[in-house]
A and B are shown apart, each in its own frame.
Chain A
Amino acid sequence: MSTPNSTIEEFAEKEYQYGFVTDIESEMIPKGLSEDVVRLISSKKGEPEWLLEWRLKAYRHWLTMTEPQWHNVHYTPINYQDIVYYAAPKPKKQINSLDEVDPELLKTFEKLGISLAEQQRLTGVAVDAVFDSVSVATTFRSQLAELGIIFGSFSDAVKEHPDLVQEYLGSVVPYSDNFFAALNSAVFSDGSFCYIPKGVRCPMELSTYFRINAKETGQFERTLLICDEDAYVSYLEGCTAPMRDENQLHAAVVELVAHKGAHLKYSTVQNWYPGDKEGKGGIYNFVTKRGKCLGDSSKISWTQVETGSAITWKYPSCLLIGDNSVGEFYSVALTNHRQQADTGTKMIHIGKNTSSTIVSKGISAGFGQNTYRGLVRINPGAEGARNYSQCDSLLLGDKCGAHTFPYIDVRNPSAQVEHEATTSKIGEDQIFYCNQRGLSNEDAVNIIVNGFCKEVFRVLPMEFAVEAQKLLGVSLEGSVG
C-alpha cells in the first residue's frame, strides 16, 4: 500500500517542461565585466550619453559594494567575471512586424504557450517578448498607441521617449540601492517600458515574457511602468529558462510609479528552471522590485507566484507616499527539491491614512527552504496608517523548512498593524480523507495546496490563475513526503 509519504515524493519528480534550448545563432560578447563591457553594451544599443554615464556611475558604485549575506539562502559564490553580460539573437535588425521575427523565435514562444501571432488577439493580452537580452517582439503596439499608451521594449523607449525614461529611471530603485540593483543598472540590456497616460484605463492585460536561452549568460532586464493620474493597468510577467547544469544569474529591476488616483497591478508567474532534484543547475534569481505610490489615493498591487529558480531573492515593495495610497502584496512561493526562496515585501508608510495588505503563502516540499522576510514601517508622519499581514506556511514532508522574519517598525502611535502567521503540514489524515472520496494522492495534494493558496489566486488575472494552479501541480509532483 502506498503511504502518503512516498506519494508526496513521487509527486515532486516531474521534469521541468520548459527546459528545451532553441537553436538560434546569437551574438554574445566575451565573458567578464569591466567598464569596457559597460561601454560596449551601451554602444551596441546606441544609447545616449546620459544613459552611459548613469551605467558607469552604477558600475563604479557596484565595485564598492559587497554581495549581501543577510539572507537565508546558501549558494556557491557567483563569479561575476565568468558571466556573459550580453547575448542577442542574430541578426538583430529593425523589426517592423511579426512577419520579420525569426520563425525559430516565434516557435519558441509558441512552445512556451505564448503566442505572439496577431490572430491570437482574442486572448486580449499584449505581449512584449524578451529573449536573452533583447526584446524580440511586442504585440498590439499600434492599437495601444491610439490610446496614448506606450508599451514596448526598454531600448525602443530610450530612443523614442528619452525624456520619460530619463525622468523615471532609477527614481524608485536608485542604482545605489543594493548590490544586485547596482549590477543591473550597469549592465541591463533590455526589458519592458510602459506608460499609461492620464485617465486612461488600459483595455487589455499587458504582458512581458522573459526567456533565457543562451548558455553562460546572465539576464539583466529592467522594467519601468508609469501610470499617470487616474490611469489603470494590469501587467503580467512570465519567465522560463532551459535546463542547464550550471547556474545562471538573473538580476532584474522593476520600477513602478503610480501618480494620483492611479492603480497599477503587477502579477508575476516566475517559473525559471529550478535545478534538478539534487540541486544541480537552476537560475539564481536576485530581483529588486519596488513601486512608488507617488500621488494621493494611488494603489499598487503586487501578486507573485514563485515556483521556479534555484535561489529566489526578491521583495516586491511599496513606498506609500501619497495620502490614502494603498499597497498590496500577495505571494505564493513554492520550494521543492533543493530550491531556496527568501522572499517577502516592504511596505513603507509615509503618507497619511495609507494602508497595506500582505498575504504570503509559502509552500515547502522535498528539501526546499522557504523564508518569508517582510518589513512594515510606519513613518512618524504617516498618521492613521494601517497594515494587515498574514503569513502562512505549508510543509510537505519532514526534510523541508519554513522560516518567517516579519519586521515591524512603527513610529506613529495612531498606526494599526496586524500580523497573523500559521504553519501547517499536509497531514496524512487530509490525504487519506481525499483518497477515501476517490481522489488520487496527486489530486489530493493539488486540492489541498490550491486551497491553501486560494486568497492569492483569487487576485490573479483569470487566465493567470489557471496557469498558476497548473504550475503548482507540476512543481509539486513527487513532493508528497
Chain B
Amino acid sequence: MLEIKNLHARVDEKEILKGINLTVKPGEIHAIMGPNGSGKSTLAGVLAGRATFDVTEGEVTFNGQSLLELAPEERAREGIFLAFQYPVEIPGVNNMYFLKAALNAIRKHREEPLLNSTEFTKLIREKAKLLELDASLLNRPVNEGFSGGEKKRNEILQMAVLNPYLAILDETDSGLDIDALQIVANGVNVLRSPERAVIVVTHYQRLLNYIVPDFVHVLAGGRIVKSGGKELALELEEKGYGWIEQETRATAGATA
C-alpha cells in the first residue's frame, strides 16, 4: 500500500529526514517511535503533503501512485488521513457541515454518489455510536473551544467517517488522560480492518498498550534505526531511547 524509499526532507535549510525506508501493507499497524526531534512528525507531515516540508530526495508510492506529486487534498481523496497532533480551530464552521463537505469532496473524487444531509446524519450517528463518542461535538464549530481530549476524539470521528485506506496518527496520545486515551485507542481498534493500514506516531509506549502494533520502528536522527515487533516498544519503555542511539553510533562508527 505504502512504500517509502530513501526519503529525505528538510525544513528551511535543515535536513530532518535523512533517508527513510518503510513498507506498509494493508491491514498492518506500524508504530513509529523515537525521541523528540527525531523527525516523527515531519514524516507524518511529508506523507500528508504539508507545504512547510521540502522533499529533496526519495520517493513514496501509495496504492501504485507517486504520492509526492499529489496536492494534499488529492492525497486525502486517495485515502490518506492524518489525525493532527494539534487539530486546528475553524471558528463559526459547523463540525457536521465541515465533515459533510469533506466526505462529499472525497466521494466526488471516487465517483461515488454524494450524500445528502439525511444520509450523512444517519452515517455520522452510526459512526459516533460505533466509537462510543458523544455526538454533541458535531453541532459545535470545528474544534473551537474543544478541550484537548475533545479535539482528539473529533479527529477519530472524522477518520471513521472519511474511511481512509491509510490513517496516520500524529502523537494522538499527547496530552490525553487515560480515559481519553482509551476512547481514542478503542476508536482505532474498532476501525481496524484488513483493507486499512495505520501508522501510529508516538513518543511513549503507553498508547501501544491499547493499540497493539504489528511493527515498531525507531526513528532517530532522521533515519529508522531499528525495527521490530511489538516487544520492541516494551524494550524502549524499559531502557529509554539512549541505548538505541549508542548502538546506532557504534554501528555508524564501525562502518565509517
Contacts and interface: CB of A to CB of B under 8 A. Distances in A.
Interface of A: 1-4, 427-430, 432-441, 443, 447-448, 450-455
Nearest to B68: A1
Interface in B31-58: 48-52
B68 to A, nearest CB: 8
A438 B91 contact: no
A430 B72 CA distance: 13
B102 A451 contact: no
Contact of B73 (A428, A438, A450, A451): A438
Given A429-B88, A447-B90, A455-B92, A437 B162 contact: yes
B243 to A, nearest CB: 36
Interface centre among A429, A432, A452 (most CB of B within 10 A): A432
Contact of B50 (A432, A441, A452): A432
A334 to B, nearest CB: 16
Interface of B: 48-52, 71-73, 75-77, 81-82, 84, 87-93, 98-99, 101-103, 105-106, 109, 141-142, 158, 162
Given A432-B50, A447-B98, A1 B91 contact: no
Nearest to A361: B92
B50 A438 contact: no
Given A436-B48, A436-B76, A437-B158, A448 B93 contact: yes
B105 A432 contact: no
B106 A451 contact: no
Contacts, number: 86
Given A436-B73, A436-B82, A438-B106, 15 more contacts: A1-B71, A432-B50, A434-B102, A436-B76, A437-B76, A437-B98, A438-B73, A438-B76, A438-B77, A439-B73, A440-B73, A447-B90, A447-B98, A451-B90, A451-B141
Mostly helix, strand, loop or mixed at chain A's interface? helix
Contacts of B142: 451
B73 A435 contact: yes
A438 B81 CA distance: 9
B91 A452 contact: yes
Contacts of A428: 51-52
A438 B141 contact: no
A454 B92 contact: yes
A451 B105 contact: no
11 contacts: A1-B49, A1-B72, A433-B88, A435-B76, A436-B76, A438-B77, A438-B106, A438-B162, A451-B91, A452-B92, A453-B92
Nearest to B98: A447
Contacts of A447: 90, 93, 98, 101
B88 A2 contact: no
Contact of A439 (B49, B52, B105): B105
Contacts of B48: 436
A452 B158 CA distance: 22
A7 to B, nearest CB: 10
Best-buried of A4, A427, A447, A455 by chain B (most CB within 10 Å) = A447
B98 A435 contact: no
B75 to A, nearest CB: 8
Contacts of B91: 451-452
A455 B76 CA distance: 30
A432 B72 contact: yes
Contact of B92 (A3, A437, A451): A451
Contacts of A430: 88-90
A428 B106 CA distance: 21
Nearest to B103: A438
Nearest to A433: B88
Q: Which of A439, A452, A454 has the most CB of B within 10 A?
A: A439
Nearest to A394: B91
A451 B98 CA distance: 10
A451 B93 contact: yes
B93 A433 contact: no
Nearest to B91: A451
Contact of B87 (A2, A433, A440): A433
